[in-house]
Amino acid sequence: MSPAKVHPDKKRGAIVPIGGAEDKEGDADVLRKFLEVSGGKKARVVIIPTASSLEDTGKRYEKLFKKLGAQEARSLPIVTRADAGKEEWLAYIDECDAIFITGGNQLRLSTVLGGTAMAKAIRSANARGVSVGGTSAGAAILSEHMIAHGDEGNTPRLGMVSLAPGFGLTNRFIIDQHFRQRDRLGRLLTALAYNPFALGLGLDEDTAAFINGDGKLRVVGKGALTLVDVSELEHSSLADTQEGKPVSLTNVRLHILVQGGTFDLETRKATA
């Protein structure tokens, strides 16, 4: 699923994947920054809690964004594919300044929302300038290729990861979350071996990548972003490797960026 085309007189809205477990009780720096890039106190935020199995998730984020100063915060409790076509809820997407997708199970997001009018509306909203962020499962689904599930460990192995279609707001990244906490370098490297076109973003908890419409990425949060660049990959043994065996990858570039670190998608230059 490719990103929607940006109108000539518009700029694409920010794309904000968050590594999960973001601070909600203290300074809430990541969520506060998300609100800031979405219009601040004038922002109207739509929350999509579909990934979560907890009934109060949407209401909790409504209260949280209002506490942070949003003009309006409304949760859309989309449970079925029929829900994803409700005209009233699609109208909220058309009028909002920010869309926030909660954590939970990313396959619930893809099976309930994938290919629906709601998914299309989210892509179109981002293309006309609406910020779209997600935490944990909500981060994984933002890109074209989504990590559905995989194994822990540092070494890439054939079959270590399963991919599924995401929302397609960008085709430039594969995103993984809870990264350091759940030892997920190997599965991100395996996913990139399948698709060396993309950049890998491995987000620690309470850490976000703010990617603006000009192709600039900035890290916000208390953890780190592990950025894996395979654009100059020289060799991959993926095609000749047996299931479960290690995959050889050469000339892989890796950056570790913390609060304030940046990355330029055009030049592929990282700055601490």
Spatial CA neighbour of 142 closest among 86, 91, 102, 186:
102
**CA–CA separation, 272 and 257 (whole Å):** 6
Q: Which are the contacts of 99, defined by CB distance < 8 A and separation ≥ 6?
A: 45, 46, 47, 48, 93, 122, 125, 126, 130, 131, 132, 133
Over range 183-206, report the average pLDDT.
97
Please tell me whether the overall predicted TM-score, pTM, comes out greater than 0.85 for this model. yes
- Residue 67 pLDDT: 97
Helix or strand holding residue 140 (H, E): helix 137-140
Instruction: Kindly indicate the confidence band of residue 8, based on its pLDDT and cuts at 50, 70 and 90.
Output: confident
Task: Summarize the confidence of residues 212-232 as an average pLDDT.
Answer: 97
Q: pLDDT digit string (tens) for 110-123?
A: 999 999 999 999 99
- What is the rounded distance in angstroms from the CA atom of residue 64 to the CA atom of residue 23? 11
Q: What is the pLDDT of residues 66-96, one digit of tens each?
A: 999 999 999 999 999 999 999 999 999 999 9
Q: Does 10 score more than 90 pLDDT?
A: no
φ/ψ (deg, to 5) at 29? -60, -40
- CATH for 15-271 is 3.40.50.880
| pLDDT tens string 152-165 | 999 999 999 999 99
Residue 218 pairs in a beta bridge with: 210, 262
The residue among 49, 99, 39, 95 whose CA lies nearest residue 71 is 39
Instruction: Give the position of tokens 């192995």.
Output: 157
Q: Which residues are catalytic?
A: 136, 178, 205
What does the DSSP 8-state code read for residue 202? E
pLDDT at 100 over 80: yes
Alpha-carbon distance of 166 to 173, in angstroms, equals: 11
CA 103 → CA 99, 116, 162, distances in Å? Answer: 13, 20, 19
DSSP three-state, residue 38: coil
